[in-house]
């Protein structure tokens, strides 16, 4: 098939990583794959001043920013010349064209038939603050075949929008990239968190939980990584081992240095770091968002209430207090859970879903 992905932006976000994985794997399976994105919007002097005043890194204007699509082989990534809607002239003729975000769904719906049958890859219910919820909801009603990654999104499709014509394709984890040999607990109790200033990611809750837990566990250590510099609005605790934009082949080492990984999201489409941490034999403490309930249910971690740093702190103490055998059993369960979700299986399901696009 000739397959086109239509992107709002190419960056280092988790959702984009999933799209890049499918683009690469579909190309490896012999399909002709093109990814088309737009650049970031132009940063004005006002934007720069406001960032400086808030203590954030001053944003820059440049043509290319790092993204998960930089290393594609076989698949082609094209970026249009400006931050505007993507239209038919920007795209090759194809058999299938895939929207990847609510705004791109509007663009794809307007395309002529020659650009391909239309599919909508849904990784979240994108009614976040700052988004037009009415327009987001309207895209769920568009006559495009939906490809949905998590059970909670399946429930939204059925119960809120009355749609039963979709494909359920859960995310997976690359066990060649994310893996670790069996190990024991860390000599110094250690937890990890992915650093993000995006409010729905809940990093602030994880950091509050760490601070509370360290009052009971004075030697507790925090390891973190993220895609941006740490800001004054959301500082990391003193002594945090932080890595910005680590090479992809080093992330597994970060996960494997932890006794538990913290995911305090207020909203999540799937929560890929949960599977990645589990594949590296690290139990996960998470809120019940995205796929966390079904991933953690077998026993590879603990679920805590949302907006409750005290509960997350108690879970950190609980895992830190496990015996060596108890922790290794939880670690083993986490790894076993992760091995049930492979990208080979997911790609086959995704390929089938594209064949069902109308």
Strand-strand pairing, 221-226 and 241-244: parallel
The two structure tokens encoding residue 184: 């024991």
Distance CA 98, CA 31 (A): 14
What pLDDT is recorded for position 57?
A: 60
Give the pLDDT score at 351. 97
What phi and psi values does residue 8 have, to the nearest 5 degrees? -70, -35
Give the pair of three-digit tokens for residue 317: 């103490």
Could you write out the DSSP letters of every residue in 129-184?
Answer: TTS-HHHHHHHHTSSSEEEE-SHHHHHIIIIIT----EEE------TTTS------
Question: How many other CB atoms are there within 10 angstroms of residue 350's CB atom?
Answer: 23
Residue 53 has what pLDDT? 62
Residue reference for tokens 């079904």:
294
Rounded alpha-carbon distances, angstroms, from residue 325 to 186, 196, 260, 322, 330: 13, 33, 15, 8, 9
- pTM, entire model: 0.82
What tokens does 166 get?
């979709």
Instruction: Give ∠ CA 194-204-202 in degrees, rounded to 5.
Output: 65
Longest dimension (CA), the chain: 63
| Per-residue tokens: 269 | 């489409």
Residue-level pLDDT at 358: 75
What the block records as the tokens of 326 is 């108890």
Rounded to 5°, angle at Cα 162 from 157 and 163: 60
How far apart, in Å, are the Cα atoms of 225 and each of 194, 245, 247, 279?
5, 7, 11, 17
> Which pLDDT does position 166 carry in this prediction?
95
Please, is 81 exposed, middle or buried when counting C-beta atoms within 10 Å of its C-beta (0-12, 13-18, 19+)? exposed
H-only helix segments in the chain? 14-28, 45-53, 102-109, 133-140, 151-155, 203-216, 251-256, 272-279, 292-296, 309-320, 324-338, 343-355
Contact (CB, 8 A) for 118 and 146: no
Residue indicated by tokens 């954030």: 56
How far is 214 from 270, CA to CA, in rounded Å? 29
Question: Domains of the chain (ranges plus CATH)?
Answer: 2-172+342-355 (3.40.50.2000), 190-338 (3.40.50.2000)
Print pLDDT tens along the chain (358 aa): 999 999 999 998 889 999 999 999 999 999 999 999 999 865 556 555 566 566 666 556 566 678 999 999 999 999 999 999 999 999 999 999 999 999 999 999 999 999 999 999 999 999 888 899 999 999 999 999 999 999 999 999 999 999 988 999 999 998 999 999 999 999 999 999 999 999 999 999 999 999 999 999 999 999 999 999 999 999 999 999 999 999 989 999 999 999 999 999 999 999 999 999 999 999 999 999 999 999 999 999 999 999 999 999 999 999 999 999 999 999 999 999 999 888 999 999 999 999 988 7
Q: How far is CA 135 from CA 38, 77, 98, 309, in A?
A: 20, 27, 18, 34
């Amino acid at each position: 098939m000739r397959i086109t992905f239509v992107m709002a932006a190419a960056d280092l976000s988790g959702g984009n990583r999933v799209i890049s994985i499918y683009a690469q794997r579909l190309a490896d399976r012999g399909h002709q794959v093109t990814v088309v994105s737009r650049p970031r919007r132009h940063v004005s002097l006002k934007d720069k001043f406001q960032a400086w005043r808030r203590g954030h890194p001053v944003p820059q204007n440049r043509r290319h920013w790092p993204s998960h699509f930089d290393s594609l082989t076989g698949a082609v990534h094209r970026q249009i010349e400006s931050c505007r809607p993507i239209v038919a002239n920007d795209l090759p003729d194809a058999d299938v064209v895939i929207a990847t975000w609510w705004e791109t769904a509007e663009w794809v719906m307007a395309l002529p038939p020659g650009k391909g049958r239309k599919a909508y890859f849904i990784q979240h219910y994108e009614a976040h603050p700052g988004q037009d919820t009415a327009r987001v909801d309207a895209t769920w009603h568009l006559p495009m075949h939906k490809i949905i990654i998590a059970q909670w999104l399946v429930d939204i499709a059925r119960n809120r929008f009355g749609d039963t014509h979709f494909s359920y394709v859960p995310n997976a984890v690359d066990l060649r990239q994310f893996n670790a040999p069996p190990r024991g607990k860390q000599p110094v109790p250690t937890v990890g968190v992915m650093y993000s200033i995006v409010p729905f990611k809940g990093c602030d809750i994880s950091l509050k939980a760490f601070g509370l837990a360290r009052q009971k566990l004075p030697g507790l250590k925090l390891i973190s990584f993220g895609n941006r510099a740490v800001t004054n609005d959301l500082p990391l605790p003193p002594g945090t081992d932080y890595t910005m934009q680590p090479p992809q082949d080093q992330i597994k080492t970060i996960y494997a240095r932890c006794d538990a990984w913290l995911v305090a999201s207020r909203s999540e489409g799937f929560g890929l770091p949960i599977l990645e941490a589990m594949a590296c034999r690290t139990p996960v403490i998470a809120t019940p968002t995205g796929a966390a309930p079904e991933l953690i249910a077998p026993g590879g971690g603990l679920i805590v209430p949302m907006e409750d740093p005290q509960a997350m702190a108690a879970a950190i103490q609980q895992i830190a207090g496990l015996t060596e055998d108890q922790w290794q059993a939880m670690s083993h369960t986490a790894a076993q859970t992760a091995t049930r979700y492979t990208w080979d299986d997911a790609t086959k399901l995704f390929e089938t879903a594209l064949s069902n696009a109308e």
